[in-house]
Structure 1
Amino acid sequence: MEVLNYKKFRVTDEMFASKGKRFLNYLIDLGFFYALFILLGVLLYIIAEITGSEGLYDFLIELENVNPIIDRLLTAVLLVIYYTILESLSQKTIGKLITRTKVVLENGERPPFEVFVKRSLCRIIPFDPISFLGKKGWHDSISKTYVVDDNVFNEQKRQHKNYQELGALNE
């Protein structure tokens, strides 16, 4: 009886999310991120007005006049937190949820938390947002992750599983 060789599942080029989807992910996530903080600012302003809290009002005024370097550092920290939390919870950000893409390791498995942290930290590298115009973005390459199209990935994974089960039945 012939024994089939078991092959480990691997992410292949045809599973990669398109550059268009990657760019759309970036735009959606950036838009959502800024909208979230604008909404938070408006909410805090309304609370300050309703409660008459001069301390909160003064804090909001100070935020408007913050040093540009501090502003960029704070924004970078908040972006790292945004990406780390969302991707570690579901392998997706809001952009990836909308475009039906997700982050996986080379073997198709879910990355561990520390990989999402590394991936998120890499996003603050200057010019990282345009690095995905190559085959992989820097935050993908450094963290050894892949952004894949959900539909193509799930179908390939299903076919791989069926092939492996067929091999087990033939033994």
Structure 2
Amino acid sequence: MKNKEKYAAVILLSVLQVYNIVRSFEYFKTYFTNLGNSFRYGNGLNTIQTTMYILFVLLDLVLITLFFASTGRYQDKVYKLLRYLFLVTFFLYIPYTIYAYTSGNVYFQSFTLLQKILQITSVLANIACAVLFLRAKPQTQPLAINLAEYELVNYTSMGHRFVHHLLDMLFIVPVFLFWREVLYVRNEYMLELLFLLVYLVYCFLSEAVFRQTLGKIATNSCVTSNGPDLTAGRVLLRTLARLIPFDRASFLFRANWHDKTTYTSVVYIDTWEKVFEDSNPEDTAATSK
């Protein structure tokens, strides 16, 4: 059943992406035609946002193709990345989706009946796709472990934590630029606040639901606990700890403040081991005699 839901989710996602390309074809055509003039007339940020959106659509299409062309563990890894990209994007944009298709939105009310039907159908299809992805989990997922129970573990290297930061920023930037335009934020301090909010929501969603961000998926790392259970509340505390000044640069000298203050760690998946296994109760009893 889960396998069927996986295929249904990926097929529905491919239909949605094809629909998005067809719907935006004229816009993309105009965009590429005027690409050279965009930065000249002060539209650089919009150009960056559109370019990154196109790249993510292309990435989805490549991953969809790889999913159907592969089997076994490789297919599961591709599915895991597809699922992550869709669900995190879905939740980051859902507030705008709710607003955009309410009766009070003037832009939506200007649509023809056919356009309204297509838009509402697209929204419902996205919701259905999200439900399918949430239900059909990949075979390999980071385990909810407590490192206090293991003697050996391979912590993620400083170089890979830098990779996490770069890839996460690559994902966050187009989301930030989108909300910047939607909310029409131009004040410097409000822009910083908006970026910080997007960053924190991204980190919380990723680590609470998947125990990984995009960067951690790329390096096969995950968030684990060093004591209490890694609940959503603990992840929230870990996320808020990122507000510590200069926390994002703390990995450069292995301080990792948001880890240490919340008793969490970032480690490579399946590298935790027990050196001394729990002894068999029967063997213990026999020895005592």
Calculate the TM-score normalised by the size of structure 2.
0.42
Choose which of 53, 60, 64 in structure 1 pairs with 2:181.
60
Structure 1 portions without partners, runs of 5+ = 1-7, 42-58
Alignment partners' CA distance in 1, 2:192 and 2:206: 21
Matched, 1:90 2:230: no
Given that 1:105 and 1:146 are in contact with CA atoms closer than 8 Å, whether structure 2 keeps it comes out as: yes
Aligned pairs, number: 137
Match of 2:280 in 1: 167
The one of 217, 231, 253 equivalent to 1:112 is: 231
8 Å contact kept, 2:176–2:195:
no
**2:212 maps to 1:72:** no
Pair 1:168–1:121, CA change in 2 (3 A): same
Q: Is the deviation greater in 94-103 or in 116-125?
A: 116-125
Quote the offset at 1:169 in angstroms: 5.9
2:170 corresponding residue in structure 1: 31
- Stretches of structure 2 that go unaligned for 5 or more consecutive residues are 1-147, 285-289
SS in 2 for 1:148: strand
Q: 1:11 to 1:86 in 2, by over 3 A?
A: farther
**Alignment partner of 2:263 out of 122, 129, 144:** 144
SS of equivalent to 1:126: coil
Deviating beyond 6 angstroms after TM superposition, the runs of 4 or more aligned structure 1 residues are none
1:134 is matched with which residue: 236, 248, 253? 253
Q: Which residue of 1 aligns with 2:160?
A: 21
Determine the structure 1 residue equivalent to 2:83: none
Q: In 2, distance between residues paired with 1:147 and 1:102?
A: 5
Aligned-residue sequence identity (percent) comes to 25
Task: State the distance in 2 between where 1:11 and 1:114 align.
Answer: 26
130 and 66 in structure 1: CA distance in 2 versus 1, 3 angstrom threshold: same
Q: Alpha carbons of 1:119 and 1:169: their partners in 2 closer, same or farther (altered >3 Å)?
A: same
Q: CA deviation at 1:126?
A: 2.6
Give the whole-Å Cα distance in 1 for the aligned partners of 2:154 and 2:208.
Answer: 21
Q: Which has the higher contact order (CA 8 A, sep 6+)?
A: 1
SS of corresponding position for 1:163 = coil
**Aligned-partner Cα distance in 1 for 2:189–2:217:** 32
Match status 1:9 vs 2:149: yes
Contact 1:123 1:139 in 2 (8 A): yes
Give the superposed CA RMSD. Answer: 2.6
- Could you say which residue in structure 2 is the equivalent of 1:54? none
Deviation at 1:19, TM superposition (A): 0.5
Residue type at the aligned position of 2:243: I
For the 8 Å contact 1:103–1:148, the answer to whether it is kept is yes
Output the CA distance in 1 between the equivalents of 2:151 and 2:229. 12
Task: Give the whole-Å Cα distance in 1 for the aligned partners of 2:169 and 2:223.
Answer: 17
Counterpart of 2:215 in structure 1: which amino acid?
A: G
Q: Which has the larger radius of gyration?
A: 2
1:152–1:112 CA distance, 2 compared to 1 (3 A) = same
